Amino acid sequence: MKIVVLTGSPHKNGTSNTLVNEFIRGAEENGHIITRFDAPFLKIHPCIGCDHCGMDGPCIFNDDMSKILDAILDSDMVIFATPIYYFGFSAQIKSVIDRFYSKNGKIQSKHLKSAFIATAWNNDNMVMSGIKKHIEILIDYLNLDNIGTLLAKGYGYKGASTENHYMKEAYNLGKRV
Ligand SMILES: Cc1cc2nc3c(=O)[nH]c(=O)nc-3n(C[C@H](O)[C@H](O)[C@H](O)COP(=O)(O)O)c2cc1C
């Protein structure tokens, strides 16, 4: 399968990217082809809602989003990986999701497989409740066939990132694809 990985952390060796690397390791071992886009290091203008695209047409911004959309429309699966910022996606990856708008129907009709990975510093019951709901709604709205969601709470300390059961869970998620 062709898998597009979208990441949203500016920390190249941070917690969410560490789990993504484990996911990729598992998926590549199973022969899947990964195309990765690290949103914080790309030029992606936030959607301004001008509706020039009419939800199915060219965007007024000529930036890195066009290659992300091309890759998604040529893929079988999309992975979303984000640090929790104020109980939700980071702005960097949310900008990518918002820019799905110009290909909204085409993305929906692909019935893509998906997986979500999120990491948060806090370890309480509330910390993942917002993103959990958001992910559920995105799966439904974007017509995704979600194979797994890894919500790694109490996982904000980079030094702990290789000594944590979440590493194994991320690898297993990749192997499950
Ligand atoms: C702007 C900002 C907002 C954050 N908001 C939350 C939050 O709401 N809850 C939480 O537990 N951690 C929060 N954090 C901490 C990060 O989610 C946590 O450190 C995470 O592991 C960072 O992931 P990374 O290492 O992949 O960048 C926030 C961090 C930043 C910089």
**pLDDT one-digit tens code per residue, 33-72:** 999 999 999 999 999 999 999 999 999 999 999 999 999 9
pLDDT confidence bin for 160, thresholds 50/70/90: low
For residue 80, give the nearest of 95, 66, 70 by alpha carbon: 95
pTM of the model as a whole: 0.97
Q: Of 3.40.50.360, 3.30.70.580, 3.40.190.10, 3.40.50.300, which CATH number belongs to 2-176?
A: 3.40.50.360
Structure confidence at residue 24 (pLDDT) = 98
State yes or no: pLDDT of 172 exceeds 90: yes
Residue 27's pLDDT is 98
Average pLDDT score over the chain: 95
Q: At 156, is the pLDDT very low, low, confident or very high (cuts 50, 70, 90)?
A: confident
Tokens 């911004």 label which residue?
A: 61
Adjacent-strand bridge partners of 35: 4
Q: Output the pLDDT for position 158.
A: 64
**Ligand 1: residue whose CA is nearest its atom 5:** 85
The CA dihedral of 149, 90, 94, 76, to the nearest 10 degrees, is: -30
pLDDT, position 163: 63
Instruction: At 67, list the tokens.
Output: 């290659």
Determine which residue's CA is closest to atom 1 belonging to ligand 1: 85
Centroid of ligand 1 to alpha carbon of 24 (angstroms):
22
